[in-house]
Amino acid sequence: MQTHSDAFSIGKLITDIAKHFNIKKSDIWKRQFELLSMWLGERGFKVTLSKDCEDIIKWDEMLVMIDSAPQWENRYYALLHECGHIIISENPENFEYNYPYYIRESDERRRRSDAYKISLLGEEIEAWKLGRNLGDNILNHFIDHKKFDKMMTECMMSYVFWITEEE
């Protein structure tokens, strides 16, 4: 398992591999994205890239949408995160045990509750953790943990700001 201190060595390793095979570094991240898309395909999901869209799962369409604007490495990390949500959906009882409401709750009163907001925040954190584990330990992909953590933190902070907004 890679550690957070491995971030520089992962960046150097990616650079060295790209040089050795005379490819762009982005090709490595793109290939990992494609392999992750195949993993999702085995679960019945299709992955699409769309300009300026929110990274999201459309559950009723079995579709994962990823913003095409960021570079391949960030697209890959976003897709890992969405995979984390799918892993949670495959075992909802594990999530429900630890959080007040499962976030697919449709009752609007519950959706406005603090318990729902905490459950949503919890699922987002779990999705990042499960996505990282999938890429790092199951698929044995390259992950620059510093960059992954930075992206996770930025995304999580947007939820923290939303949760703490006054109604």
Residue 101 DSSP label: S
Q: What is the number of structural domains in the chain?
A: 1
Q: Which residues contact 138 (CB under 8 A, 6 or more apart)?
A: none
The pTM of the full predicted model, rounded to 2 decimals, is 0.87
pLDDT of amino acid 145: 94
pLDDT for 100-151, tens place per residue? 655 555 666 666 778 888 888 989 999 999 999 999 999 999 999 999 999 9
Cα 9 from Cα 66, distance rounded (Å): 27
pLDDT for 56-69, tens place per residue? 999 999 999 999 99
Contact 67, 78 (CB under 8 A): yes
pLDDT of amino acid 95: 74
pLDDT of amino acid 7: 46
Domain with 61 in it:
4-164
pLDDT for 3-56, tens place per residue? 555 445 888 898 899 899 898 989 999 999 999 999 999 999 999 999 999 999
Q: Where are the alpha helices (DSSP H) in 22-164?
A: 25-41, 72-90, 92-98, 108-111, 114-133, 145-164
pLDDT of amino acid 8: 55
Sign of CA dihedral 161, 88, 57, 68: positive
